Amino acid sequence: MNGPTDRFVLPARILHWLMAALILAMLFIGAGMVSTVNDRYPELLAWHRPIGIAILILAVIRLGVRVTHRPPPLPADVPAMQAAAARASHYVLYGLMIAMPLIGWAMQSAGGYPVVMWKGFDLYPILPHNIIVYGQLRRLHGLFAYAFFLLILVHLAAALVHAWIRRDGVFQSMSGGSRT
Amino acid sequence: MPSPSPSRNPLPALAVIALVVVVLALLFAWTGGWLTPARISGSVMVDALQSNTGKIFPGFRRAHTKGICVGGHFDSNGAGSALSTAALFTTGSFPVIGRFNTGGSVPTGADAGQIFHGLGMRFQLPGGREWRMALDQTPVFVVSNASDFIALETASTPDPATMKPDPAKMKAFLSTHPETQRFFDYLGKTPMPSSFANGTYYSINAFRFTDAHGVTRFVRWQFEPEQPFTALAKGNADTLPPNFLFDDLLQRIHEGPVKWHMILVPANPGDRTDNATIAWGPDHQRIDAGTLVFDKIATEEDGHCRDFNYDPLILPEGVAPSDDPLLSARSAAYSVSFQRRAAEGPRPDAITLELQHKGEVK
């Protein structure tokens, strides 16, 4: 029964799982680095910036894959409200994947900070130095991070409901595994 | 394609799903420090500063609050290359902005009451690179780590009734922190420079310098003034105008440039490089790496120094942090202070207000 629209295409599946790992790591790094003043603070901060930019690049590629490849439809028996919620949550997830790194880059630019990828390579600022803009973007970066984490928890719970309770093939369309 | 109907009891699966979500949420909460109240974050340090001050002055730095902007250049003579490949040490001239500041947390407090001198600097290097420094007038720091910093801020919080710290609490802190007592003794017996311009400014912490051969050494440094030292008559400071240090610097730089020499001091064997409360011995190699020249000055409102964070961990290639735990603590706390004042938005500084009052600026 594995028709062409049964699963996400392979690049979409690879991107999904790779980015799932990176984004979760990123949220934990972000929460961890602002929780401490020991030497993990600068270390985690040094990881946070390049991983963020990696997520931005992958998210743009993924958006390209998404618009050129129709995802498999949800099963017909998923209620319309749930299907709408799923669609909306996926729009928000894509939005956050792209917005979070951009906000991070923009806020560090506005804060007058060098946007260091690794020692010897900085990104160009994408906003002029403006402390008020920095202050607001920094606040947004934190708020969006919590929203992102909550949405990922809901997304994960819904995926597991499809996998273990409904057993309707939705989870397998992304895991690539067999339904039985 | 019929969906297999959920024939089994869904409760066990639901319980496992709930468990997965809760465990992940708890892990996140632990990572963020919400389950470990004793963990010290930059926010905890800044909260301690704010609570010591007794109130929040929105838009201002939480420490070293009163400042003035200067600008100029650093003329490097190339001698520093013996210790580090940092671009600042190649022969040439590099633009620098600075912020001279006093010690307290009250934006309009009189200089006499918060007289400790500090200097933040941002050196602009080729290719958009930077080196930022936050220097103090003392070669050593008052505490060696973040948790002692918080304990000292708590012990020295003025009693709202007497406006003075509780002597018993301070005594208790000092009895278990001889390094802090040593710092206060040093401050007490060392003459205070009469001006921002005739004082020496120290790196406080040690840093790792790496030279072109890959050899790494621990180095502290200081900026020593060309302006001749004169001591402040400490007893008379209270009779001086509230902004006397800033007024003095404005006048001096309007009259001509002020200059310092950057003196690099490599550690000798046995010098502590992970504890900023311990002074190094007297016999050290000294390398004069060049001359710092400030020939421009403006208030924080008009200058371009206020809206930068002088994070001591913004370092060029060839310079890296030491194992001193104070460095990451300073970096984290400065960042939180910067975030808070940025979100509040900057307000006019004391010197701008004074000049407006005198009618010298609008």
At residue B60, the pLDDT reads 98
At residue B362, the pLDDT reads 63
Coil, strand or helix at B239 = helix
Domains and CATH numbers, chain A: 10-73+83-175 (1.20.950)
CA–CA min distance B330, chain A (Å): 8
Band of pLDDT at residue A179, cut at 50, 70 and 90: low
CA distance B201 to B169: 31
Choose among A119, A157, A169: nearest Cβ to B317: A119
Nearest to B150 by CA among B256, B40, B67, B267: B40
Instruction: Determine whether the interchain pair B32/A39 forms a contact, defined as Cβ–Cβ distance below 8 Å.
Output: no
Nearest to B337 by CA among A29, A124, A37: A37
Residue spans of the domains in chain B: they are 44-147+193-358
Instruction: Determine whether the interchain pair B41/A75 forms a contact, defined as Cβ–Cβ distance below 8 Å.
Output: no
Instruction: Determine whether the interchain pair A114/B16 forms a contact, defined as Cβ–Cβ distance below 8 Å.
Output: no
Going from the C-alpha of B141 to that of each of A103, B136, B181, B268, B333, the distances in angstroms are 36, 8, 11, 19, 16
Q: For the segment B54-81, what is each residue's pLDDT rounded down to a tens digit?
A: 999 999 999 999 999 999 999 999 999 9
What ipTM is given for this predicted complex? 0.95
The half-sphere exposure of A59 on its side-chain side, counting CA atoms within 13 A, is: 22
CA distance A108 to A112: 6
The continuous run of DSSP H or E covering B94 comes out as: strand B92-101
Nearest to B121 by CA among B53, B185, B72: B72
Q: Is the pLDDT of residue A3 over 50?
A: no
Which chain B residue has its CA at the smallest distance from A111's CA? B308
- CATH superfamily, domain at B44-147+193-358: Catalase core domain (2.40.180.10)
Asked about B73 being catalytic, the answer comes back as no
Residue to test with chain B: of A36, A37, A41, most B Cβ within 10 A: A37
The continuous run of DSSP H or E covering B298 comes out as: strand B287-299
CA–CA min distance B54, chain A (Å): 23
Per-residue pLDDT of chain B in tens (362 residues, 90 and over written 9): 344 455 578 999 999 999 999 999 999 999 999 999 999 999 999 999 999 999 999 999 999 999 999 999 999 999 999 999 999 999 999 999 999 999 999 999 999 999 999 999 999 999 889 999 999 999 999 999 999 999 999 999 998 888 889 999 999 999 999 999 999 999 999 999 999 999 999 999 999 999 999 999 999 999 999 999 999 988 888 899 999 999 999 999 999 999 999 999 999 999 999 999 999 988 999 999 999 999 999 999 999 999 999 999 999 999 999 999 999 999 999 999 999 999 999 999 999 999 999 887 76
At residue A4, the pLDDT reads 46
CA–CA min distance A12, chain B (Å): 23
Neighbouring CB atoms inside 10 A of A139's CB total 14
Band of pLDDT at residue A5, cut at 50, 70 and 90: low
DSSP-assigned states of every residue in chain A = ---TTSS--HHHHHHHHHHHHHHHHHHHHHHHHTT--STHHHHHHHHHHHHHHHHHHHHHHHHHHHHHSPPPPPPTTS-HHHHHHHHHHHHHHHHHHHHHHHHHHHHHHHTT--EEEETTEEEPPSS---HHHHHHHHHHHHHHHHHHHHHHHHHHHHHHIIIIII-SSHHHHHH-----
Which chain B residue has its CA at the smallest distance from A158's CA? B17
Instruction: Determine whether the interchain pair A132/B345 forms a contact, defined as Cβ–Cβ distance below 8 Å.
Output: yes
Nearest to B294 by CA among B129, B97, B110: B97
* Contacting residues for B121 by C-beta, under 8 A, at least 6 apart: B96, B97, B98, B99, B132, B133, B134, B135, B310
At residue B162, the pLDDT reads 86
